[in-house]
């Protein structure tokens, strides 16, 4: 019996996990990535990998020990402040708590890339779209497969044809920057070992410790996307100087990241030869779920393809698990975003965290 020809579009966390777990099962796979090389773009901040989702996927990928060697359990520390800089909620992980340790996204992606057989990823292969079971490349060429998986994120080129839905602006934008602890020890101390968030009405300053003494900072607000940086910074006039210092002492360029989502419960009619995973399937607000879910999708789809020789039946089995799971978590993330960015300011955030820990 010959193995199915499987194409994965996108070497993000979801596509790479799918490819790795397929290879663990002895199934061949080709990943097409538009970026020219693994290091062509900075991978941004830190991610928490949850027991039961991201960590389950890593276990199926045979990479849990390597993950633990890089992960930062102390990064589970959480501090919530108000706009005056008063600490209102402080969670410290217990010794041995490995329920959601942090890891730099770049380190996690590097771990997955390094685990794949040579040649599994074709870098510099931008995909224009998919037609039937064919992948159409930007240079005008195409290649035929038994299954094409769109793991190409929010603006997926594989999604059209399965679903006509496109992501919509949530009304909330993040403006990202960062600094080095060694050069700005005071604001770094305020962040602690994990995440610090200060909330005011419809806005927040969020800061997260990454590895190598770097701190990532986000000025987040509810309002029109792509506002000039000077206007975003002026939203925090009157806030505690200690909180404002996180933004004002930042030494990286500010980058606007408007948050887009697909509708809660997004799905498509089952289509032989094609499916989606991760953000391409269920883009949701960043409440610590998206990467975990993308990786779990990848691992589940790989398991289904290994267990069921009929590719179409395997994809159906995957979709029947993925759709309701994604809908449930997308609801949680959408409600969470509304709680965090509300006219109530920090009260909404405190309520959400007490529900989550309560």
Residue 41 CB, shortest distance to ligand FAD, in Å, is 8
Lay out the sheet containing 274-276: strands in order across.
121-122, 30-32, 6-9, 147-150, 274-276
From residue 216, alpha-carbon distances to 51, 143, 275, 285 in Å are: 24, 40, 34, 18
C-alpha to C-alpha distance for 41 and 14, rounded to whole angstroms: 17
Angstrom distance (rounded) from CA 257 to CA 206: 14
Which of 27-35, 91-99, 319-327, 331-339 is the region at the interface with ligand FAD (rule: CB under 6 A)?
A: 27-35
CB 148 within 8 A of CB 273: yes
Of 156 and 342, CB closest to ligand FAD: 156
Q: Which stretch binds ligand FAD (CB under 6 A): 12-20, 116-124, 305-313, 325-333?
A: 12-20
The answer to whether the CB of 342 falls within 8 A of the CB of 297 is: no
Q: Least CB distance from residue 273 to ligand FAD, whole Å?
A: 18
When asked if residue 174 is in the footprint of ligand FAD (CB under 6 A), the reply is yes
Closest by CA to 209, choosing from 225, 223, 190, is 190
How many Å apart are CA 60 and CA 64, to the nearest integer? 8
Size of the site for ligand FAD (CB under 6 A): 31
In the list 6, 15, 148, 301, the residue contacting ligand FAD (rule: CB under 6 A) is 15
Residues 175 and 219 sit within 8 Å (Cβ to Cβ): yes
Does 340 help bind ligand FAD (rule: CB under 6 A)?
Answer: no
Residues 6 or more apart whose CB falls under 8 angstroms from that of 256 comprise 173, 174, 175, 176, 225, 226, 227
Rounded Cα–Cα distance for residues 245 and 233 (Å)? 11
Q: Is 73 in the site for ligand FAD (CB under 6 A)?
A: no
Q: For residues 303 and 12, what is the distance between their CA atoms, to the nearest angstrom?
A: 19
Stretch of residues binding ligand FAD (CB under 6 A), selected from 77-85, 147-155, 231-239, 348-356: 147-155
Q: Which stretch binds ligand FAD (CB under 6 A): 5-13, 91-99, 308-316, 325-333?
A: 5-13
Q: Does 12 bind ligand FAD (CB under 6 A)?
A: yes
- DSSP strand pairing (168-180 vs 46-48): unpaired
Residue 309 C-beta: closest distance to ligand FAD, Å: 26
| Strands in the chain per DSSP E | 6-9, 30-32, 46-48, 78-82, 87-91, 102-104, 121-122, 127-131, 134-137, 142-144, 147-150, 168-180, 195-200, 203-209, 214-222, 255-261, 274-276
Question: Is position 194 an interface residue for ligand FAD (rule: CB under 6 A)?
Answer: no
Which one of 68, 184, 257, 316 is in contact with ligand FAD (CB under 6 A)? Answer: 257
Closest separation in Å from C-beta 290 to ligand FAD: 2
- Out of 112, 113, 121, 127, the only residue in the binding site for ligand FAD (CB under 6 A) is 127
Which one of residues 6, 7, 9, 204 is an interface residue with ligand FAD (CB under 6 A)? 9
- Least CB distance to ligand FAD at residue 230 (A): 21
Q: Residue 127: count other Cβ atoms within 10 Å of its Cβ.
A: 22
Cβ 32 to ligand FAD shortest distance, Å: 5
Between 42 and 86, name the residue whose CB sits nearer to ligand FAD: 42
Interface with ligand FAD in residues 271-330 (CB under 6 A) = 278-280, 286, 288-292, 294
Position among 5, 24, 25, 34 found at the interface with ligand FAD (CB under 6 A) = 34
Q: For residue 326, what are its two tokens?
A: 């994604």
Name the residues that contact ligand FAD, by CB under 6 A: 9-15, 32-35, 47-48, 126-127, 151-153, 157, 174, 257, 278-280, 286, 288-292, 294
């Amino acid at each position: 019996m010959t193995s199915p020809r499987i194409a994965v579009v996108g070497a993000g966390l979801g596509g790479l996990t799918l490819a790795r777990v397929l290879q663990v099962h002895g199934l061949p796979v080709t990943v097409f990535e538009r970026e020219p090389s693994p290091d062509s773009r900075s991978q941004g901040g830190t991610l928490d990998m949850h027991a039961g989702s991201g960590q389950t996927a890593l276990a199926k990928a045979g990479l849990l020990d390597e993950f633990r060697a890089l992960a930062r359990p102390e990064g589970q520390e959480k501090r919530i402040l108000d706009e005056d800089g008063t600490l209102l909620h402080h969670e410290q992980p217990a010794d041995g708590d490995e329920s959601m340790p942090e890891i730099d996204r770049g380190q996690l992606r590097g771990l997955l890339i390094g685990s794949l057989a040579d040649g599994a990823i074709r870098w510099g292969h931008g995909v224009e779209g998919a037609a039937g079971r064919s992948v159409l490349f930007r240079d005008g060429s195409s290649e035929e497969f038994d299954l094409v998986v769109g793991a190409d994120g929010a603006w997926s080129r594989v999604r059209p044809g399965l679903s006509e839905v496109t992501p919509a602006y949530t009304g909330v934008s993040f403006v990202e920057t960062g600094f080095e602890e060694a050069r700005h020890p005071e604001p770094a101390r305020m962040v602690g070992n994990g995440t610090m968030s200060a909330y005011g009405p419809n806005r927040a300053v969020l800061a997260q410790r990454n590895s190598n003494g770097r701190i990532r900072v986000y000025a987040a607000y509810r309002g029109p996307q792509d506002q000039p940086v000077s206007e975003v910074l002026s939203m925090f006039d009157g806030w505690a100087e200690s909180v404002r210092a996180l933004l004002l002492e930042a030494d990286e360029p500010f980058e606007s990241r408007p948050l887009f989502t697909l509708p809660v419960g997004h799905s498509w009619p089952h289509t032989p030869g094609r499916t989606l995973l991760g953000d391409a399937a269920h883009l949701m607000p960043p409440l610590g779920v998206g990467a975990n879910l993308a990786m779990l999708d990848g691992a589940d789809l790989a398991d289904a393809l290994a267990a069921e020789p009929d590719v179409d039946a395997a994809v159906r089995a995957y979709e029947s698990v993925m759709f309701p799971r994604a809908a449930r978590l997308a609801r949680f993330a959408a409600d969470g975003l509304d709680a965090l960015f509300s006219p109530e300011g920090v009260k909404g955030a405190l309520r959400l965290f007490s529900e989550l820990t309560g």
